[in-house]
Amino acid sequence: MSAHHDDRSFIRKYIFSTDHKIIGIQFLFVSLFFLLVGGLLAMQIRWQLGFPGRPMPGGGILPATMAPGGVILPEYYIQLVTMHGTFMVFFAIMPLLVGVFANYLIPLKIGAHDMAFPTLNMASFWTALLAGLIMLAGFFVPDGAPRAGWTSYAPLSARPDLSGASYGQMLWCISLVCLGLSSILGSVNYITTVINLRAPGMTWFRLPLSVWALFITAILGLLALPVLSGAAIMLLFDQTIGTHFFDPAAGGQALLWQHLFWFFGHPEVYILILPAMGMVSDIVANGSRKPIFGYHSMVFAITGIAFLGWIVWGHHMFVSGMNPTLGSTFMVTTMIIAVPSAIKVFNWMGTMWRGNLRFHVPMLNAIGFVAMFTIGGLSGVFMAATPVDIHIHDTYFIVAHIHYVLFGGSLFALFGAITFWYPKMFGRLMNEFWGKVHFWLTMIFFNLTFFPMHILGMGGEMRRLYDPTQYDFLKPYQPLNTFISYSAFLLFASQVVFFVNFLWSLKHGKAAGNNPWEDNGLEWSLPSPPAHGNWETVPTVYRGPYEYSSPLVKEDYLPQYRKLDTDREPAMTPVSGH
């Protein structure tokens, strides 16, 4: 395959494409759509919490089984929290990080023509889309969407007589089995590609940290998703053919589900943050015009987090009734996993130290990531301390924590990454001014929305509560809940700026040229957007990815592909494409 002849039909080129770049962009559009869906669900949750029992503006279009006269029903409310979590975790953040960027970046950054298995790659996208549509279908079946939370704790999730949801709960299982298949297909592909298709000279320790993070994430995905698929199939059997794996009323074990779910679920948490950390590393080095501080310790930190991520799942279960001695064990591993995260934060700061900082929109969002991820990481220490967790478990303190990590962390990184690689994807830059407006509005309203949730959690406000004013001790917090809701509405409105900028710039953005950010990565040697097959002949790599402000050249960047007179050709035999 080469970058030359492209006589594919429109359908093969843009719909059933095997080009990793097109597949990445397909993932981008689909998961931005699901991000919007998840956001709309969150707005309805915030309406009910801010203004319990009041008719929701525009809620009149919902059927009477959800919101008669626009007033949200308790059964619809728990569908909202279940589907908000499910969509954001599985169909927005995960595909945005992995589906989009593992696909788009890996071949371009390692100097390959395409993925090792392009057809599997195409299958991975279509399976993921199918999974998303199956999940969405939950809203349209009798009894509506699943109602057991995104964690689907059994036996509530296993027994329709307890949850009140029958088909929706089954669709949840079927959808996640499909999604698991999609992730496994993708992971196999990413791992094989990174191992086998690196360009000559692209040694392991010359890989950009984004590729390291995506590679380690793929290993996590390959090992974790089968556990979720297995658990989801068992749950589906409980719902349909009466197996009772998780129903103690007939000999099953309620905690078995939690162990299986979190054995998958905690590595999943790192699937949702490691790629963000990797891409932020690339962007911070570029924005600081400095080599990344402590490249090797960054790689070891990623690997360390990935390993420890397998032995911390019990911290979700401190008060579940699990053996309390196990609680002590999981507390220790959970405390230790804070260390590699701290190393990464200090290394990003070390990268900025004595740098020459360019505040382009990707850099602003990357700094925002470091600032917000730090808060999310530090609030995790409270939960790791078992006695404190007894009080704050299942409260808004946890809701605050997860949003600082997944929104303040992953989503800020994604805003940065999308803005950074947008010119390579579409040949045009997103608008700089509106990008900055979006960053600042999001930063302000994000903190106004989620920081006060720590206060609610300390006061004891429980998660997934349809109407907190039912409790006397929570009534005084209602003004704060209303304040959070107003902030959340403004946070949602701020995202319109991003979406409009994204769509407008497709046609009207400034032409990008090959290397608008003066970056060192291989992808920037190509035209924007690169042709099918990427390279005529694969490039040769002469150095690591972060040679900014090198004394060897007068420019403040030295791309991996640029050959200086002093560089020798790499001894490694070139790896062929296909």
Partner 1 sequence: MHWWLPAQGSTFAGFIDTLFTVILIITGIAFFVVELGLLWFTFRYRARPGRRAHYTHGNLKAEVIWTAIPAITVVALGIVSNHYWKIIKGRNSVPADAYQIGVHAKQFEWQITYPGPDGVLGTADDFTLRNDLHVPAGRPVVVHLSSEDAIHSFFVPVFRLRQDVVPGMAINAWFQATTPGEYELACSQLCGLGHYRMRAHLTVMTWDDFQAWMKTAAQGATS
Smaller CB separation from partner 1, 2 or 550:
550
Residues 186-225 that bind partner 1 (CB under 8 A): none
Applying CB under 8 A, which of residues 188, 370, 405, 429 lies at the interface with partner 1?
370
Minimum distance, C-beta of residue 388 to partner 1, in the bound complex (Å): 5
- Which residue, 74 or 527, has its beta carbon nearer to partner 1? 74
Select from 164, 186, 200, 278 the one that contacts partner 1 (CB under 8 A). 164
Q: Considering the rule CB under 8 A, would residue 387 count as an interface residue with partner 1?
A: yes
The answer to the question of residue 460 lying near partner 1 (CB under 8 A) is: yes
Q: CB–CB of 302/565 below 8 Å?
A: no
Instruction: Note if the bond before 155 is cis, omega within 30 degrees.
Output: yes
Considering only the stretches 131-139, 348-356, 409-417, 567-575, report the one whose residues sit in contact with partner 1 under the rule CB under 8 A: 348-356
Q: Cβ distance 482 to 469 under 8 Å? A: no
Task: Name beta bridge partners: 557.
Answer: 548
Cβ partners under 8 Å of residue 114, min gap 6:
1, 18, 19, 20, 107, 533, 534, 577, 578
Nearer of residues 78 and 430 to partner 1, judged by Cβ: 78
Q: Is 466 in the site for partner 1 (CB under 8 A)?
A: yes
230, 370, 408, 215: which is closest to 306 by C-alpha? 215
Nearest to 418 by CA among 498, 520, 497, 349: 498
Element (H, E) at 233: helix 209-240
Q: Which CB, 30 or 405, lies closer to partner 1? A: 405
Q: Does 444 bind partner 1 (CB under 8 A)?
A: no
How far apart are alpha carbons 183 and 124 in whole angstroms?
7
Q: Does 463 bind partner 1 (CB under 8 A)?
A: yes
Nearer to partner 1, 69 or 74 (CB): 74
Residue 326 within binding range of partner 1, rule CB under 8 A: no
- Residues between 535 and 564 with contacts to partner 1, criterion CB under 8 A: 546, 548-551, 556
Residue 359 tokens, joined: 């505040």
Q: Choose one: 6-14, 235-243, 350-358, 420-428; the region binding partner 1 (CB under 8 A).
A: 350-358
Binding residues among 69-88 for partner 1 as defined by CB under 8 A: 74-75, 78, 81
Nearest-approach distance from CB 383 to partner 1, in angstroms: 10
Question: Residue from 386, 447, 489, 562 that binds partner 1 (CB under 8 A)?
Answer: 386
| For partner 1, the closer CB: 12 or 436 | 436
Residues 1-40, one symbol each (x = binds partner 1 by CB under 8 A, - = not), give: ----------------------------------------
Number of residues that bind partner 1 (CB under 8 A): 103
Question: Smaller CB distance to partner 1: residue 81 or 108?
Answer: 81
DSSP string, 274-331: HHHHHHHHHHHHHHHTSPPTTHHHHHHHHHHHHHHGGG-GGGG-TTTT--HHHHHHHH
Residue 49, CA distances (Å) to 14, 43, 72, 149, 481 in order? 43, 10, 10, 17, 6
308: its two tokens: 């420890």
CA dist 170 → 49, 152, 160, 162, 449 (Å): 28, 11, 10, 14, 33
Judged by beta carbon, residue 15 or residue 553, the one nearer partner 1 is 553
Q: Say whether the peptide bond before residue 160 is cis (omega within 30 degrees of 0).
A: no
Q: How far is the CB of 367 from partner 1 (least distance, A)?
A: 6
Interface region with partner 1, contact rule CB under 8 A, candidates 18-26, 125-133, 474-482, 507-515: 474-482
- Considering the complex, what minimum distance in angstroms separates the CB of residue 17 from partner 1? 39
Stretch that binds partner 1, among 227-235, 269-277, 412-420, 469-477 (CB under 8 A): 469-477
In whole angstroms, the minimum distance from the beta carbon of 350 to partner 1 comes to: 7
Q: What's the number of CA atoms in the CB half-sphere (13 Å) around residue 159?
A: 14
Q: What radius of gyration, in Å, describes the C-alpha atoms of the chain?
A: 24
Report 283-322 residues binding partner 1 (CB under 8 A).
Answer: 288-297, 319-321
Residue 283 and residue 420: Cα distance in Å, rounded?
8
Q: Please give the Cα distance from 406 to 23 (Å, whole number).
A: 24
Place of tokens 């497709």: 506
Question: Which element (helix H / strand E) includes 487?
Answer: helix 478-508
What are the tokens at 206? 């010359």
Residues in CB range of 60: below 8 A, 6 or more apart: 69, 70
Q: How far is the CB of 190 from partner 1 (least distance, A)?
A: 27
Contacting partner 1 (CB under 8 A), which of 45, 453, 465, 538? 465
When asked if residue 378 is in the footprint of partner 1 (CB under 8 A), the reply is: yes
Complex with partner 1: residue 50 or 577, whichever CB lies closer: 50
Cα–Cα distance, 152 to 257 (Å, whole number):
9
Among the residue ranges 194-202, 391-399, 441-449, 568-576, the one whose residues contact partner 1 (CB under 8 A): 391-399
Location of structure tokens 């089984």: 65
The answer to whether the CB of 223 falls within 8 A of the CB of 120 is no
* Shortest separation between residue 423's beta carbon and partner 1, angstroms: 20
Q: Which of 119, 203, 240, 328 binds partner 1 (CB under 8 A)?
A: 328
